[in-house]
Structure 1
Amino acid sequence: MSFTRTDIPEVVIFEPKVFGDARGFFFESFNQRNFEEVIGYPVNFVQDNHSASTRNVLRGLHYQIKQPQGKLVRVIRGEVFDVAVDIRKSSPTYKKWVGVHLSAENKKQLWVPAGFAHGFVVLSEAAEFLYKTTDYYAPAHERCIVWNDDELAVEWPTSCEPVLSAKDAQGKVLGDAEVFD
């Protein structure tokens, strides 16, 4: 598996070596030892999640203020534009974001460390999204930054108004949101 550091070095894109022939394909989607070697510290994943969404659904920008989650995300059907936003006040990349196209075709994965808000928009007719988390879902600590916060200026690659959940439509602007020190 190869990797690429993004403009925010802690956020990493992983690309597997895919072996294919007329029968189909095979690839190693996760290797704990290699993963920890790249990110530089031990990680314990405790939960796997799977979501399905239709075109223009935008989920995020989510995070947990307590029990923060690192996420290793990938798409197994369709395509999304995936975004990680640094919301750690003490970080030199505070308020910066990176976006990556993840698809069933490119098989890329994105490591989003704890301390980041995360979201994605579906670019295909439908998409299935898988992710591992380093802590359990804690609804009492979940927070959301609104997807179109002017201060962050995320460049979502869609010309349509996104389809949001009621919770995501109520997201706060960064200036009013609880963030990490």
Structure 2
Amino acid sequence: MNKFAFGAALAATVFVMPAAAFAQDGQAEVTLGVTAGYHDLGIADEVEDLTGLEVEDGSPIFGGFAAVDFPLSESLFAGVEGNLNIGTDALDADYGASARLGYRAANGTKVYLRGGYQFIDLDYANILNVDEDDIPGDLEDTFDDYLVGAGVDFGLGGAVVRVNLDTISFDTLRATAGVGFKF
């Protein structure tokens, strides 16, 4: 993990810990789960306009998440979340950490906004539809930037069903859905 990931995790922790101290009756809620979705890099049109080449710039992704939420009041919460996804096409992986702030309904449904930092490992061979040997070895394939997103966790007893929509620096679009278990 490089200094940016560590910094994002540290910033998220610093943001949430004071909120935990002010939480009066509630305990932290930990959720672990799996997700699947699609991450669109949003570069296909620009590449085709500049070069005339058609590229595959999106990828199905599969992974997991860990979230810890702290009640701020009866219906407000703040938390931190980490995620790791493996891609099958244009992305080898994406991973990062974010802080969450949201509203919890009486039925346990959580609606939240989140912000953090995300890393994207690209697979140029799949993007350009060429052999791996045709890609220069010194070509940078990991990019990172801020993440902004929104999501909903639907509570089902000790489990949650979630949907999220995120963007990395307003350049990419990532939609995921998943299932998690609360501890």
Q: Name the TM-score, length of structure 2 as normaliser.
A: 0.25
Which structure has more strand as a fraction of its residues?
Answer: 2
- The one of the two structures with greater contact order (alpha-carbon pairs below 8 A, sep at least 6) is 1
Which structure has more helix as a fraction of its residues?
Answer: 2
Over alpha carbons, which structure has the higher Rg? 2
Q: Name the TM-score, length of structure 1 as normaliser.
A: 0.25
